[in-house]
Chains A and B, each alone.
Chain A
Amino acid sequence: MLLAGTVPSDDLPLVVDEARIENGSIIAGGHRISCIQGSGAMMSTALIVAEFLKLPPPRIVVAGDKGHGRGSRSIYEYLIESLAGLAVETVTLHYCLPDIVRMKRLCESVAKRSGRPVMIADAGFMYAAKAAGMASQFDIFTPDASELAFLADPEATHPAYISRHLFDTGVADFPALIASAYRQNSAARLLLVKGAVDYVACDGGIVATVCEPDLPALEAIGGTGDTITGLVSALVDAGMELREAAVMAFKTNRLAGALARANPATKIWEVISRFPEVLEEHFSSCVRA
């Protein structure tokens, strides 16, 4: 599993290394990376789940970027150069400055591989994939309500430009937005849409919904979408079928939120640290059954 994304730092160079979690931080290439909202939350979630499932340690591709774009560009360039030759089965692309031209080159690099990995994107990489017309090259996108409206908007190249009527449609009619996103080839094969009700859509149709436990506060907590991306990445890498992994990611996220007694002031690490407990319960109940 390869996890790529930027983290907020002025001095973190491009780091490509196997990573591990230590005292609430990600350790890779001799650097300590915080598990806050963004790629830190996505990567730490995937690392924790991978460790629980005894998967090989994930490799991360990370660079410091506070928004100027230099770290983002170094990640793009590394992936463009290396993806064709890397022995990975799951690739997750996360926070970055959206870059339409580099995204097209990245997809060309993936197409050169003999075996295609499961391609997952969220955040800036998902924005770039949609804006570049490359969404159909991906297996999984993990949008929230406004990002779904962005995928459904044929004109928008960033969620800040979505049409007012699509934004208003948002929560009220996820199925209509999902159908629109697929019609325009702006969706990955599988969509995991996070909301009051979580939707799993595949090839244009809704295949599952998850709404329990009901925790409205999760929307306010920075990183609860990132954790879903990390969860589904690790579960897919473990060999789970994509739709099954999607449903389990949503359920695990909600159950961890409930264990953390999530309220709008909860910090994402409080949720992430509960994942082993939720997974333990899930797998032991499978054994009991």
Chain B
Amino acid sequence: MAFLERRQKTSFEGGGLVLFRDVQEAMKGERVLRGADYSVKLVAPPPEMRKGCDLALEVDLVEKLGIERTFRDKDVDYVEVIPLKVKTSELLDIVKVTDFGRWVMVKAGNMKLTFDKNDGAIVNTSGGGCPDIPNLHAEMVGKTLAEAPRPWDIGYSLCALMLDRALEESLNIWNGGERR
């Protein structure tokens, strides 16, 4: 059935927007589509549709049918796929690293994660203002980078999404990878 498999994408046309009821479902939708080799981008919904903490997916509109089928198959609860008529706001994608000697602080957007260079233990998380952030603080601090739960998995908000990026970059540094 190889001929039915999606071809590897080489470009991203965009033009379509998938709307969700909440950030957590949008994060799940992104993971499912990436897993199925679709090109997607996390963006803000149009201004008139924003409630306060919102996330949408920009997709290639020509792939609407396949995307909807994938969501049905994987139980992703989306609202609809619509044509994109205005320019979207992209998520902030900047990571900054501060070396405190024994500790490293990684800042992704408005969220910060600090870990101990000796054992990879997360010693603090800071920033943010959504209600899942204190919970993530309680769940992550004291655990190593590898043991800690992913904000992507247990968070609900855009702040959690940013904290997940900080964790990902911290893991990259801890594992000796190149900084972005």
Q: Mark A44-77, 1 if CB is under 8 A from B, else 0.
A: 0000000000000000000001111101100000
Known: A100-B52, A164-B94. A157 touches B124 (CB 8 A): no
Q: Which 7 residue pairs across A and B have the least CB separation, nearest first?
A: A67-B132, A123-B129, A98-B52, A67-B156, A38-B134, A8-B135, A265-B123
Report if B137 contacts A (CB, 8 A).
Answer: yes
Known: A96-B130, A263-B100. 4 other contacts (CB 8 A): A8-B132, A8-B135, A99-B51, A265-B124
Known: A146-B127, A219-B112. A36 touches B134 (CB 8 A): yes
Report if A214 contacts B (CB, 8 A).
Answer: no
The answer on a CB contact under 8 Å between B130 and A124 is: yes
Q: Mark A1-41, 1 if CB is under 8 A from B, else 0.
A: 00000111000000000000000000000000010111110
Give residues in B with beta carbon < 8 Å to A.
Answer: 22, 24, 44, 47, 50-54, 89-94, 98, 100, 102-103, 105, 109-110, 112, 114, 116, 123-135, 137-138, 141, 155-162
The answer on a CB contact under 8 Å between A162 and B50 is: no
User: Please, how many angstroms separate the alpha-carbon atoms of A97 and B89 in the complex?
Assistant: 20
Report if A222 contacts B (CB, 8 A).
Answer: yes
The answer on a CB contact under 8 Å between A95 and B130 is: yes
Nearest chain A CB to B78 CB, angstrom units: 18
User: Please, how many angstroms separate the alpha-carbon atoms of A100 and B44 in the complex?
Assistant: 15
Nearest chain B CB to A176 CB, angstrom units: 18
The answer on a CB contact under 8 Å between A97 and B126 is: no
Which among B98, B116, B128, B138 has the greatest number of chain A C-beta atoms within 10 A?
B128
Give residues in A with beta carbon < 8 Å to B.
Answer: 6-8, 34, 36-40, 65-69, 71-72, 94-101, 103, 122-128, 131-132, 144, 146-147, 150, 155-162, 164, 167-168, 216-217, 219-225, 263-267
Nearest chain A CB to B170 CB, angstrom units: 12
The answer on a CB contact under 8 Å between B109 and A66 is: no
The answer on a CB contact under 8 Å between B131 and A263 is: no
Nearest B residue (CB) for A132: B52
Nearest B residue (CB) for A34: B138
The answer on a CB contact under 8 Å between A95 and B131 is: yes
The answer on a CB contact under 8 Å between A67 and B130 is: yes
Out of B50, B51, B137, name the residue touching A222 (CB < 8 Å).
B137
| Residues of B close to A263: CB separation below 8 A | 100, 102-103
The answer on a CB contact under 8 Å between A160 and B109 is: yes
User: Please, how many angstroms separate the alpha-carbon atoms of A69 and B53 in the complex?
Assistant: 10
The answer on a CB contact under 8 Å between B112 and A220 is: yes
Nearest chain B CB to A68 CB, angstrom units: 6
Nearest chain B CB to A47 CB, angstrom units: 17
Out of B52, B98, B110, B134, name the residue touching A97 (CB < 8 Å).
B52
Out of A34, A38, A155, name the residue touching B133 (CB < 8 Å).
A38
User: Please, how many angstroms separate the alpha-carbon atoms of A225 and B133 in the complex?
Assistant: 14
Out of A39, A160, A216, name the residue touching B158 (CB < 8 Å).
A160
| Residues of A close to B102: CB separation below 8 A | 263-264
Nearest chain A CB to B168 CB, angstrom units: 15
| Residues of B close to A216: CB separation below 8 A | 98, 100
The answer on a CB contact under 8 Å between B110 and A150 is: yes
Out of B110, B124, B127, name the residue touching A264 (CB < 8 Å).
B124
The answer on a CB contact under 8 Å between A221 and B126 is: yes
The answer on a CB contact under 8 Å between B91 and A124 is: no
